[in-house]
Structure 1
């Protein structure tokens, strides 16, 4: 385990040396600033409408505050999407990249096993991705609260499910990096991510149209790739009662937001799948001919 943590530390230093961290900070600050400025302008517009209507103020949990609620929800969806991109792009060459540029031969000559190397890579990149998404999500929710006074009902469980999705995507990308080239790995993981999103759309259509076949196909896709289900579970915790009532009346027709909490078994399966992916990556790379 000591060697794995050493590799994780080296991965963190590599991310810093390649200016990954600095670029993320700059771009993320620009994104948060841009989005929160839009929230600020929206808040001013809604306040002015309230004054024009002769109202003393708006209820933070009422229908008059729906634009702010939806803006916060879509902002967190962007955080989830950026986290998914970050998970894949930062990790896509974690093993295959070192093999392709010839660095791996000098690394494995050291007194460290291949399994420890893969585990360390996964730990290092997971720390980078999880911390990035956690800070981004906290900054967005905190900014919305500071500007509007609105706070989603349960932001901590929601952010936890998003971080679980990031952890799973990082693990699957590390596994792909031990099996395929860097380019093929990136394409493959994005296809899996798309399959999870497609499962959410099929489930929404199947529920709305009373089609058991589509609903079953959607559930199967969500089991194979549960990242989208994790987001839908997170979105449930971000919605106050008024939004949940709208979602339930439309019978879940919106594929971006969930109207029901994620089953506990599916969340556990996502964690188990991440662990299995890391274990498979360690086993595969230990037996791979370089």
Structure 2
């Protein structure tokens, strides 16, 4: 356990030395500021337009507008968390091998599985708290402006964290197999594949095409990040908006039905299997 924490601490030191944490924090502050400013400006615009028509903005319309703004912000937060999980972990092993650090560390009394798990924990302790803080800032910042707080925000955050955990673990496996650049490109394309599969499935639901729906379902099992977001979005919408979305069907960005326990169990087992595979590959590979 001591070795795991030591490697995790070195991971944080490396992120600080490369100014990754500073850059991420500064850019995130800019994003949160712009999002909250835009939310306030857009809501005021709706209210001003209603006043020009000689009426107040209807309560249902304001609720839908506020919920939609929150969904947009959380969608971007999920995307940023996914990107951080991929690009911060892409060099976890391959970068150390290229710099020669790995060859210096492995002969010491640190087992390979301890090194890899330490890297995993280090990046996990960087990505997950970042995503939690970002989502809370958006949720409560938007609540201060709009008065709207999603009905079950912590369920949504939990599913978003699960998606980031899966992508981080898959990226760690890629880093044991490929170079840093190849890992980043492959994982970003897989993330895009999951997103595209979700759109295809939505189109299939809209048109009644069983084939497109099956493609969407298959992609959600291969790369579950997009479906996890859709499951998270269910808990960010008021019931009335969910009913509207359900009638419209085919929305490529949000879901209307909670994820089943079986699917969540699959994602957990899948993530654990990817981590075990990464440990096996790292143990057998020569550096």
| Common fold: TM-score over 0.5 | yes
CA distance, structure 1, for counterparts of residue 97 and residue 104 of structure 2 = 10
SS of 2:252's equivalent?
coil
* Alignment counterpart, residue 276 of structure 1, candidates 253, 265, 273: 273
Which residue in the other structure is 2:78 paired with?
Answer: 80
CA RMSD, aligned part only?
Answer: 1.4
Give the superposition deviation at 1:207.
1.1
Q: Which residue of 2 aligns with 1:260?
A: 257
Q: Supply the distance in 2 between the matched residues of 1:56 and 1:206 (Cα, whole angstroms).
A: 39
Alignment-derived partner of residue 181 in structure 1: 179
Counting only pairs closer than 5 Å after superposition, residues 150-229 of structure 1 correspond to structure 2 as 150-229=148-227
Question: How far is 1:23 from its partner?
Answer: 1.1
Q: How does 1:34-113 map to 2 (within 5 A)?
A: 34-55=34-55, 58-59=58-59, 62-113=60-111
**1:241 counterpart residue number:** 239
Unpaired runs of at least 5, structure 1:
none
After superposition, what is the alpha-carbon deviation per residue over 1:132-165, rounded to whole angstroms, capped at 9, x for unaligned? Answer: 1111111001110011111111111001100110
| Kept after mapping to 2: 8 A contact 1:42/1:68 | no
Once the two structures are TM-superposed, the CA of residue 122 in structure 1 deviates from its matched residue by 0.6
Distance in 2 between the 1:5 and 1:273 partners? 25
**Structure 1 residue 98 displacement after superposition:** 0.7
Number of aligned residue pairs: give it: 287
Uncovered stretches (5+) of structure 2, i.e. residues with no partner: none
Q: 2:282 aligns with which of 269, 285, 290?
A: 285
TM-superposed CA distance for 1:35, in Å, is: 0.8
Mapped partners of 2:277, 2:5: distance in 1: 19
- 1:26 maps onto 2:26 in alignment: yes
Query: Secondary structure of 1:192's match?
Result: helix
Q: Secondary structure at the match of 1:238?
A: coil
The secondary structure found in structure 2 opposite 1:262 is coil
Q: For the residues of structure 2 that align with 1:262 and 1:10, how far apart are their CA atoms?
A: 37
- Alpha-carbon separation, structure 2, partners of 1:279 and 1:227: 19
